[in-house]
Amino acid sequence: MRMRPTLSWTPPEGLPPGTADLEPVVDALGAGGVLVLSGAGISTESGIPDYRGEGGSLSRHTPMTYQDFTGSAQARRRYWARSHLGWRTFGRARPNAGHRAVAAFGRHGLLGGVITQNVDGLHQAAGGEDVVELHGSLDRVVCLSCGAFSPRRELARRLEEANAGFSPVAAGINPDGDADLTDEQVGDFRVVPCAICGGVLKPDVVFFGEAVPPARVEHCRALVREAATLLVLGSSLTVMSGLRFVRQAAQAGTPVLVVNRDPTRGDTYARTRVALPLGQALTTVADRLGVPVDPAAESGPGHPSGGLPSRSAAR
C-alpha cells in the first residue's frame, strides 16, 4: 500500500505559540529514555535546505514521486542527472552542532534511539548510533529487479564515466540531494543499469508516494512504545510517516516535545514547541546537562562506515 503524497500543510488558527523555554527538554533528557524523531530542519545548518521552512525547497521544487520514477524512463533520466550533480555537494555536507549534540546525548545514555526522516547520513557521521533511517539513505542504491544493494559512490563513478564533462551549474540543492536543473541542462544524460542484472537502479530512499517498509515502521513503533519522551527535532510533521509516531506517543500518554522554529502538524499533540534554532537550542541543553559536545566529532562524509551502512537499523 502506497501513501498519498502530502506536500503541504497550512497551520490552523489556535495552535499553541512557540516558546524559548528549554527547561522541558532539559528535564526530559536529564531523566533519560528520550526517543528523537528528526527532520530536515536539523540539517539546514549543514547547508542542506529543508522542504517547508522559510525559503524551503518546495517553493521552487516538486520532489520526484515513486510513480513517476518507476513509470517513465525520461523521469529517471531527469532524476539521476539532477541527483548525480547534487550528490557532489550533498555528499560533502558535514554534521552541525545539532547532530553533534544528539550524538553526545546518545553517548551519555540519555536516548532510547533516533528515528530520522532525513536521507543525508549526518546523524551517523556525527557519531550517532542506533539511528533508524525512516526514509532510507542516499548513500546506497538498490536494483528494482534483483534487489541488490550497492554503494552510491560506485554508481557515482559509473555515471561520471558515462557522462564525461557533465557539469552544469545548478540553481540550488534540495533536501533529497536533487539539484535544480532545467530540461535543457539535463539534455541526453545517460543512466546506467544495474551492474548485476541490467535492471533499473533507484536510490534506497522512500520517494513521495511510496510506502515505508512495514518492518521498519513496526520497529519505530516499538521504539515509541518504549520511550519515556518523544523529542521531535526540525520536522514540520507534514508527512504522515513521521506524524503517526507523534500520534502514537500522545495516545499512549507519552510526552511529546517539539523543537522547531515554525508551527508543526504535531503541535496539538505536543506539551510544548520550542521555537529556537536547533544548533543553538541543543547546544544550550547539553551545556545545562553538563554533557560535553565534541565540536570535531565526525566520522567523515555520509555514513561512518564510508560505504554501505548497517542495514539492521535502516531496513
Q: Is 56 annotated as a binding residue?
A: yes
Q: Which of 61, 44, 64, 62 is nearest to 53 (CA)?
A: 44
Residue 38 annotated as binding site: no
236 is in an annotated binding site: yes
Q: How many residues does the chain have?
A: 315
Q: Is 280 annotated as a binding residue?
A: no
Q: Is 40 annotated as a binding residue?
A: yes
- The verdict on whether residue 100 carries a ligand-binding annotation is no
Long-range contacts of 162-170 (CB under 8 A, 24+ apart): 162/190, 162/192, 163/81, 163/84, 163/189, 163/190, 166/81, 166/84, 166/85, 167/85, 168/85, 170/82, 170/85, 170/86
* Residue from 235, 207, 215 nearest 132 by CA: 215
178 is in an annotated binding site: no
DSSP-assigned letter for residue 177: S
CA atoms of 311 and 315, how far apart (whole Å): 5
22 is in an annotated binding site: no
Q: Any idea which residue has 532510547 for its cell?
A: 112
The secondary structure element, H or E, covering residue 203 is strand 201-205
> 312 a known binding residue?
no
Q: Which residues, 6 or more positions from 138, have their beta carbon under 8 angstroms from its beta carbon?
A: 83, 87, 90, 91, 119, 120, 121, 152, 176, 177, 203, 204, 205
Cα 242 from Cα 115, distance rounded (Å): 9
Cα separation, 296 vs 315, whole angstroms: 29
CA nearest to 166, candidates 62, 82, 71: 82
Answer yes or no: is 308 a known binding residue.
no
Q: Does the annotation place 235 within a ligand binding site?
A: yes
Annotated ligand binding at 50? The verdict is yes
**Residue 119 in marked binding region:** yes
Active site residues: 135
163 in a known ligand binding site: no
Residue list for the binding site for NAD(+) = 39-59, 117-120, 234-236, 278
Residue list for the binding site for Zn(2+) = 143, 146, 194, 197
Residue list for the binding site = 39-59, 117-120, 143, 146, 194, 197, 234-236, 278
